[in-house]
Chain A
């Protein structure tokens, strides 16, 4: 209830400010105008939102998959650590803005380049959090497993992996928060559909109200997506005390 009230008062202040200052709508449209743009372009926005959503979801699948595999490889073998760790760090150190044009060049204007961009920003928080969790298994569990004659593979699968699930869960939450960034940047660099594309086009044509409408849809999607992943993450490690959802 509180977020709704907050949103409503924000809109009222916004509308009052626009009317009081008489700022032209192409600089700052009031919320009523944005709502009208939202209603008038509902199907157009929905169509493009679906594209962005698909990019985010596929990016999440690919990024989380690769992140988990990298974390497992890193913790399973010293050789993998020596070779992979610099790559993992590099994946985060190079800004996505710098890579996105290359991705579009290599993978085209379609879905693939956006999924790759989203996967790239998702990969690091997942790999890093999960690897940390795998590396920091409670000493006592490892001792117990060793006295019980467990093989290194069994220790990894049956002790270190489940013990790292809370860490993976927080990695997933972080990934869910940044996932839209990757997809939108991919769309900005070159796309024919998606909310980022709509925002860019609307901006160029001074349709600021449409741009705000697209932004609103994106923000709503981002929040819902985060909450969904937060729920799933909680299921992954139900023994952890639930985190305070911030949105």
Chain B
């Protein structure tokens, strides 16, 4: 396991006064929240509410007129300490699976740790697909490779933008387990529109809803009994459908 997850403890993150507007329409403003170090936070919201934009803002990919004060609680800058996993796998079709997993090193012009690539691919169940080209993989396999690439970056903060949205139910279930297990100890912010996914994966679940969007109260699903989880899922669905309507 050492090869797979060296000790990278996630740091806490403070986001203050985030504001994003497209043209005249304000998606959200004065949005503030914290991510506890090493915690898994799920941000739940209907499509188009601005979840992905918020994630991009934290990743440093924000549009020009977006702004926010974003600080790590250890005081160091965020650049170089964030990993990003998008809705689509973003595997480069011209590189084989192993080279895709080592993409970060390739782009930075540094040597990649081949043993770690192999160990990660083994861990996500693609040990026999190292030399395969992405177009020969199934959707689930591709997303596994993308997860391995995200982990290969070995960053303390991991931002995930509906990474399992396009997968079938069983594959999604397995990959959620895999991600939970492999991301343990890092600070994770996962954006999703699926309440069940949020409740299953998050230490903390927050709903982003309304216009301009505001964050609902934090929900902590861990330790909730089955009945309480069901109740929470219904409540979340109600909140989401209120905004969607």
Contact = CB atoms under 8 A, between A and B. Distances in A.
Interface of A: 138, 140-141, 143-151, 154-155, 158-159, 162-163, 165, 237, 239
Contacts of A146: 60-61
Contact of B108 (A141, A143, A149, A159): A149
B61 A239 contact: no
Contacts of A140: 86, 88, 90
Given A147-B59, A165-B94, 15 more contacts: A138-B90, A140-B86, A143-B59, A143-B61, A143-B84, A146-B61, A147-B60, A147-B83, A147-B84, A149-B108, A158-B106, A159-B107, A163-B92, A239-B93, A239-B134
B86 A143 contact: yes
B1 to A, nearest CB: 24
Interface residues of B, number: 26
B104 A148 contact: yes
Contacts of A237: 94
A154 B84 contact: no
Contacts of A159: 92, 107
Q: Which 4 A-B pairs have the closest CB atoms?
A: A150-B107, A239-B93, A147-B84, A162-B94
Interface in B207-227: none
Contacts of B79: 149
13 contacts: A140-B88, A141-B90, A141-B92, A143-B84, A147-B59, A147-B60, A147-B83, A149-B80, A150-B107, A155-B107, A158-B107, A162-B95, A239-B93
A144 B94 contact: no
B109 interface: yes
A144 B133 contact: no
Nearest to B159: A147
Contact of A148 (B88, B93, B108): B108
Contacts of B83: 147
Nearest to B135: A239
Nearest to B90: A140
Nearest to B103: A148
Contacts of B153: 148
Contacts of B107: 145, 148-150, 154-155, 158-159
Contacts of B94: 162-163, 165, 237, 239
Contacts of B88: 140
B133 A147 contact: no
Contacts of B93: 239
A143 B95 CA distance: 18
Interface string B84-105: 1010101011110000000110
A239 B108 contact: no
A234 to B, nearest CB: 14
Contacts of A144: 84, 86, 90, 103
Contacts of B106: 158
B129 to A, nearest CB: 16
A159 B84 CA distance: 17
A159 B93 CA distance: 11
A158 B106 CA distance: 8
A148 B108 CA distance: 8
A138 B153 CA distance: 21
B108 A150 contact: yes
Nearest to B94: A162
B193 to A, nearest CB: 19
Nearest to A153: B109
A20 B108 CA distance: 74
Interface string B103-135: 110111100000000000000000000000111
Contacts of B84: 143-144, 147
B82 interface: yes
A154 B109 contact: yes
**Residue from the set B84, B94, B103 with the largest chain A CB neighbour count within 10 Å:** B94
A137 to B, nearest CB: 11
Contacts of A149: 79-80, 104, 107-108
Contacts of B86: 140, 143-144
Interface string B128-161: 0000011100000000000000000100000000
A204 B82 CA distance: 74
A144 B100 CA distance: 12
A154 B95 CA distance: 15
Contacts of A143: 56, 59, 61, 84, 86
Nearest to A147: B84
Given A154-B107, A158-B107, A159-B107, A147 B90 contact: no
